[in-house]
Amino acid sequence: MKKALDEHIKELEMMAVVKEKPEKGFVFKKVKISTDLKDQEVLIKIKSVSFCGTDSHIYNYDHWAETHLNLPLIVGHEFSGEIIKMADDVKGLKIGDVVSAETHIICNECEFCLRGEGHICENTEIIGVDRDGCFARYIKIPAANCIVNNDAKNDLYLSVQEPLGNAVHTVTHFDVKDKSVVILGCGPIGLMGIDVAKAYGAKQVIAIEVNEFRQNLAKELDADLVINPINEDVYQKVMEATHGKGVDVVCDFSGNKGAIELAFKYIKAGGGMSLLGLPNENISIDLANDVVFKGLNIYGVVGRRIYETWDKVKYLVSNDLLHFDKFVTHQFPLSQISQAAEVMNGKNCGKIILIPGDDIDE
């Protein structure tokens, strides 16, 4: 049986990735964390973390980061780890549990939480954005946010379950079984989206991506058609592939203005469009012809449905229906966070995993 953290230890030192200044970059430095816990809180020793598009925004300190962060801040929100201390009132968990986390900490009191829509809680706090995050050795979070993974076959991939949940939420909001599906943008979550659509029985998955490295990853994940919008006519290719009918479901992971606007043209009547990507510009839509007269269904994706999406993730992982080894492409020690961030900036990657400690083998 695993032993709890010695109660006499009131503070722990750790190396952490900190956003200190309103400029590009991170600082990897020694910080301290109190082991005191609030009610319903746990202390976790982190095993692995993964790099997200949000972390890239923070690293580059773009307009989004400038308007959303209070510095200094320990960054990062995707992780897995082991519970080493629990508040006395925590139930349903135990010391030694291997967990990943729902990173949206919700209030359970607002109208949205009370009607079972905690994913749009009006008081959400996001780990690594609104409070200190997980790019460190330890983190404290509410017990309710822990997802237990004691039966996991591969601990290394547990930290990517949170972004995987975004892909699952996006792809499965509309029924994709025996449907044609466009995956718009093959960044890390879009690549996961291909895998999820295949796992849920889509008859045809069309991936649209400009980056050659990610096009090749999409092919490795068995996308039926990969279109490069730089040198191919996307509308023509999609209509040819669907015998002139258009696709049933579009899942946007790109946030690209032109790509989204075009998608409204090749989605078929009665189709569904799930939007996860965040455009930097306003989108122009022919509302009458491309939405109203098509009877189109549009869904905005926020995080994961708590905890419905996690049940779907667990089903996919437990039944070995996904190909983590294909969409996870890089691994770094956490101390090399800046190198990882630049790989992400270069876009020649899928999902990036980082391991706390001085080296990967620690």
Catalytic status, residue 172: no
What pLDDT, on the 0 to 100 scale, is given for residue 10?
87
Q: Is the pLDDT of residue 6 over 70?
A: yes
Q: Is the pLDDT of residue 188 over 70?
A: yes
What pLDDT, on the 0 to 100 scale, is given for residue 3?
65
Task: Give the pLDDT band (50/70/90) at residue 2.
Answer: low
Q: Is the pLDDT of residue 53 over 80?
A: yes
The phi and psi torsions of 120 (rounded to 5 degrees) equal: -115, 25
pTM, rounded to two decimals: 0.93
Q: Is the peptide bond before 235 cis (omega within 30 degrees of 0)?
A: no
Q: Is the pLDDT of residue 360 over 60?
A: no
Token pair for 61: 């300190």
Answer with the residue of higher pLDDT: 3 or 272: 272
pLDDT, tens only, 225-265: 999 999 999 999 999 999 999 999 999 999 999 999 999 99
Nearest Cα to Cα of residue 79 among 356, 358, 330 = 356
What pLDDT, on the 0 to 100 scale, is given for residue 196?
98
What pLDDT, on the 0 to 100 scale, is given for residue 9?
82
Task: Out of 35, 54, 119, 309, pick the active-site residue.
Answer: 54
Catalytic status, residue 67: no
Which domains are seen in the chain, by residue range?
11-164+305-355 (3.90.180.10), 174-300 (3.40.50.720)
Q: What's the mean pLDDT in 169-198? A: 98
The DSSP bridge pattern shows strands 11-19 and 73-74 to be antiparallel
What pLDDT, on the 0 to 100 scale, is given for residue 361?
38
Percentage of the chain lying above the pLDDT 70 cut: 98
Which amino acid appears at position 43 of this protein? L
pLDDT, tens only, 282-324: 999 999 999 999 999 999 999 999 999 999 999 999 899 999 9
Q: Alpha-carbon distance 46 to 62, whole Å? A: 28
Task: Give the pLDDT band (50/70/90) at residue 134.
Answer: very high
Task: Out of 57, 77, 119, 173, pick the active-site residue.
Answer: 57
Task: Give the pLDDT band (50/70/90) at residue 158.
Answer: very high
What pLDDT, on the 0 to 100 scale, is given for residue 5?
82
CB-based contact 77:54 (threshold 8 Å) = yes
Percentage of the chain lying above the pLDDT 90 cut: 91
Answer with the residue of higher pLDDT: 340 or 152: 340
How many other C-beta atoms are found inside a 10 Å radius of the C-beta of residue 359?
10
Q: Is the pLDDT of residue 59 over 70?
A: yes
Residue 284 C-alpha from the chain's centroid: 27
Q: What's the mean pLDDT in 113-130? A: 96
User: What are the Cα distances from residue 362, in Å, to 24, 98, 137, 145, 357?
Assistant: 29, 18, 12, 27, 6
Task: Name beta bridge partners: 146.
Answer: 101
